[in-house]
Every structure is written in C-alpha cells, then in structure tokens.
C-alpha cells in the first residue's frame, strides 16, 4: 500500500486539484461546454489560492488525492497574492468570452456566489479565519485523509491564535462530514439551478467552527 504524504501545495498540483474540484463539487453538471468549464475551474482554484495562508495536499503514489486551503486573517498579506488575483481577472475575462462564443451560461455559478455573500452578510467580523477549499478523491474517502488534512489546518490556526472560522458548502457535497467534526450550521439558502440540463434545487450552507 502506498503511504500517504502530506505537504504544501505546488504549482504542478494545480491541474490535478482542478480535476478534484470538478469531480467533488460536480461543476461539470452546471457547465456543459468543456472550454468554459476549464476556465471556471481555474477561476475556482485561483480564488481559493488568492485567500489562502495555509495549504496542504495529500499525495498517494505520486498522485494528489486530497487538498485543503484556508486562511488565518492575521497571517494574510495582500501583496503575496497578487499573482492569483491577476489570474482570476484573466480567466474571468476568458470565461466571459467563451460563454458568449459557445452560448454557454455560467449564471448558476454567479447565483451561488451571490448567496454566499448573503449568508455571510453582517457576520464577517465574527470570524478570524476561513476554510476556502477542502476535497478528497472518491477512492480515498474513509481512509482518514480528510480528518488528517483538517487536523493539519487546525494545528496551523492554533499557531496563529485563530479561534473562529467559517466555510461554505452545499448539498452536492458530503456536508454531513462537517456535522460529524463539530462544525455548526449557521445558515442555509435554497437556490434553483440547472444540473445536467434539468431544473434542480441546491441547498447552500454556512458553517462555523470554534477552535478549542
């Protein structure tokens, strides 16, 4: 059996992590053009990288099988994230052009992010940290990879005296994991989206966690 190694993220991991994001969160269900989807995945990952002060990936047999990115607000330095911020702008412009060219809507993605802002509105100052990305490949779930990644993140937060973090998730993910790990659901909103060309309902959640 291959040993699972935990280490910081590298640029060479980005493509593998985009695949994990796509499979874990099912973005391919909402964007039916592969070129538009490619830009969306890059925006998603770069948005998470633009916020992170902590990263850890799980690697098994030379393959990335899990990732966690998060932030301790006290450790965040804007200038060190400019490359990711510029990447977001570039890929956003590219996605807009591709959406028009291939007549592929990304309105559901924008709709979900609007709900994120609604759920956190007025609560931002309550938190001194955030979990921005957390996913494990299907074949490695149940092996303790997710718990180890989360433990590594919590240990980092404690070194920064971070006490109270939040995260967004939704009903397309294994959100029960957070319930089982002691997270508390602060809010929920339902949204109508198009999934695999069918009308569908997505439940979006805001969770928080207080470090002991």
Find the farthest-apart pair of alpha carbons in the chain and give their distance in angstroms, rounded.
51
- Would you say residue 106 has pLDDT above 60? yes
Residue 95, domain CATH: 3.40.630.30
Torsion of CA 7, 149, 189, 176, to 10 degrees: 150
On average, the pLDDT of the chain sits at: 93
pTM, full prediction: 0.93
pLDDT score of 64:
97
How far apart (Å, rounded) are the C-alpha atoms in residues 40 and 107? 12
- Would you say residue 169 has pLDDT above 70? yes
Tens of pLDDT along 25-35? Answer: 988 888 889 99
Residue 46 domain boundaries: 4-210
pLDDT band at 1 (very low <50, low <70, confident <90, very high): low
How many separate domains does the chain show? 1
- Would you say residue 19 has pLDDT above 80? yes
């Amino acid at each position: 059996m291959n040993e699972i190694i935990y280490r910081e993220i590298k640029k060479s991991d980005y493509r593998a992590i985009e695949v994990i994001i796509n499979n874990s969160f099912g973005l391919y269900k909402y964007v039916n053009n592969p070129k538009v989807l490619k830009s969306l995945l890059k925006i998603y990952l770069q948005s998470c990288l633009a916020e992170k002060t902590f990263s850890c990936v799980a690697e098994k047999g030379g393959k990335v099988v899990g990732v966690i990115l998060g932030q301790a607000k006290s450790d965040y330095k804007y200038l060190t994230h400019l490359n990711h911020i510029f990447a977001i702008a570039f890929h956003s412009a590219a996605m807009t052009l591709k959406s028009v060219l291939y007549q592929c809507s990304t309105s559901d993605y924008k709709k979900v992010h609007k709900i994120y802002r609604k759920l956190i509105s007025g609560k931002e100052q309550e938190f001194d940290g955030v979990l921005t990305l957390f996913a494990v490949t299907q074949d490695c779930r149940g092996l303790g990879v997710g718990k180890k990644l989360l433990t590594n993140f919590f240990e980092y937060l404690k070194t920064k005296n971070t006490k109270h973090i939040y995260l967004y998730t939704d009903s397309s993910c294994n959100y029960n994991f957070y319930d089982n790990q002691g997270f508390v659901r602060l809010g929920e909103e339902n949204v109508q989206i198009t999934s695999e060309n069918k009308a569908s309902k997505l439940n979006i959640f805001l969770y928080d966690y207080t470090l002991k």
